[in-house]
Amino acid sequence: MEGRSLIEPGNFSLEETEGLFALAEKIENDDTFLRGSCGGKLLATLFFEPSTRTRLSFEAAMLRLGGSCLGFADPGSSSAAKGESLADTVRMAASYADAIVMRNPKEGAALLASRYSPVPVINAGDGGHHHPTQTLTDLLTIRRLRGGVKDLVVGYCGDLKFGRTVHSLAKALSRYENISMIFISPEELTPPEYIVRHLQKSNVEFREIRSLEEAMPHLDVLYMTRVQRERFFNEEDYIRLKDTYILNEEKMALGKKELVVLHPLPRVNEIAVEVDDDPRAAYFKQAKYGMYVRMALLSSILGVSGA
């Protein structure tokens, strides 16, 4: 995997993905494993869009591996504010760093960046398109808490139209054995056609419904998402739809005992704070697994893990 970019989940084979998970689990179980292995390496973090977990987990991962980070979290403080093209920004960053992590509000920006960069580019989210390292995080969490990724009914709830984490996870899960999906959303926020076509082509069983209560008894994994204000062109539509689904104790009572509740975070109102104490709520564990899997990814593409 050394020297390769990660733009969307399909860039790595299922075997390679499982290898990353095995590596992440070694790191989780032994905090000295690969510690210092990226000494002298630099990671450029180019965030043209706000981020907390993704940016901090990448920086924590690189620092734990013994490397260093440079970059920006506000495009207004970069030369992009002066009109510099993405291609030039990427080429500049690549001249200083050994790998680039980039988030951009425009779909396809990460793919474009990878075509101009001589060093690996990792997509940390491109608009409503993909978020492959969040998908690695989600899959690792499911694997750890469910004992594997197969024979599962996975429900996605909330903004399924613009939710890049949903799009990436649905595509990635379509490669696993006996996975079925339930999409729970308002009619205005149903999954995009390219995701529907992909699932149909992959022979994945799925259905779309409007009621979270109806879905709850059937789910092994519930993936909650927020309605993303930044993706709406019309403020009135956002206000009308933002609180369509709120997961609370009453709805949790309808779920299976072994249900796993995930959320890419940040949450707004879609999961009540009271749910945090339910042992089935795994979204904060999920955030920590994100650091481990990003450590595995960085060490692999930088060629220090043997993967």
Q: What CATH number does the domain containing 221 carry?
A: 3.40.50.1370
Does residue 138 sit in the same domain as residue 76? Answer: no
- Tell me whether residue 200 is in a domain: yes
110-139 residue pLDDT tens:
999 999 999 999 999 988 788 999 999 999
Per-residue pLDDT tens for 93-112? 999 999 999 999 899 999 99
Q: Are residues 143 and 273 in the same domain?
A: yes
Domain count, the chain: 2
- Whether the CB-CB separation of 95 and 117 falls below 8 Å is answered with no
- pLDDT at residue number 231: 46
Evaluate whether residue 307 is within a structural domain.
no
Whether pLDDT at 31 is above 90: no
Helices and strands: H and E segment counts in the chain: 11, 9
pLDDT, residue 52, reads 86
1 located within any domain: no
- What would the two tokens of residue 162 be? 């613009």
Residue 232: give the domain boundaries.
132-287
Confidence grade of residue 15 (pLDDT, cut at 50, 70, 90): very high
Instruction: Please tell me the pTM assigned to this model.
Output: 0.91
Convert the pLDDT of each residue in 204-248 to its tens digit.
Answer: 999 999 999 999 999 999 999 976 544 444 556 545 555 578 999
Statement to judge: residues 123 and 167 lie in one domain: no
Q: What is the pLDDT of residue 83?
A: 75
- Clarify whether residues 94 and 43 are in a common domain: yes
More confident residue, 162 or 28: 28
Residue 259 confidence (pLDDT) above 70: yes
Tokens describing residue 307? 């993967």
- Rounded to whole angstroms, the Cα distance separating 189 from 107 reads 18
pLDDT per position as a tens digit, 44-78: 999 998 888 899 999 999 999 999 999 998 766 66
The set of long-range contacts for 123-126, using a CB threshold of 8 Å and a minimum separation of 24, is 123/5, 123/6, 123/7, 123/8, 124/47, 124/51, 124/54, 124/55, 124/58, 125/49, 125/51, 125/54, 125/164, 126/164
Residues 160, 183: Cα–Cα separation, whole Å: 8
Do 279 and 137 belong together in one domain? yes
- Say if 3 falls within a structural domain: no
Q: What is the dihedral of CA 137, 184, 170, 129, to 10 degrees?
A: -90
pLDDT tens, residue by residue, 159-190: 898 888 999 999 999 999 999 999 999 888 89
Q: Are residues 75 and 141 in the same domain?
A: no
The per-residue pLDDT for 201 is 96
Q: For the chain, what is the mean pLDDT?
A: 91
Are 245 and 216 part of one and the same domain?
yes
Element (DSSP H or E) covering residue 112: helix 109-116
Query: 71 in a domain, yes or no?
Result: yes
pLDDT at 266 over 80: yes
Query: Looking at the structure, do residues 187 and 85 belong to the same domain, yes or no?
Result: no
86-90 own/partner pairs: CB under 8 Å, 24+ apart: 86/112, 86/113, 86/116, 87/112, 87/113, 87/116, 89/46, 90/46, 90/116, 90/117, 90/121
Which of 159, 99, 158, 103 is closest to 130 using CA atoms?
Answer: 103
Are 125 and 51 contained in the same domain? yes
Dig out the tokens for 182 from the structure: 């339930």
Domain assignment present for 174: yes
Residues 93 and 79 sit within 8 Å (Cβ to Cβ)? no
Looking at the structure, tell me whether residues 145 and 279 fall in a common domain.
yes
What is the pLDDT, as a whole number, of residue 51? 87
**Domain contains 2:** no
Tell me if residue 153 falls in helix, strand or coil: strand
- Same domain, yes or no: 264 and 146: yes
Whether the CB-CB separation of 187 and 209 falls below 8 Å is answered with no
Provide the percentage of residues in the chain whose pLDDT is more than 90. 77
Interatomic CA distance for residues 67 and 44, integer angstroms: 11
Q: Is residue 118 part of a domain?
A: yes
Residue 138 sits in the same domain as residue 66: no
Helix axis angle for 164-173 and 193-201, nearest 10°, is 10
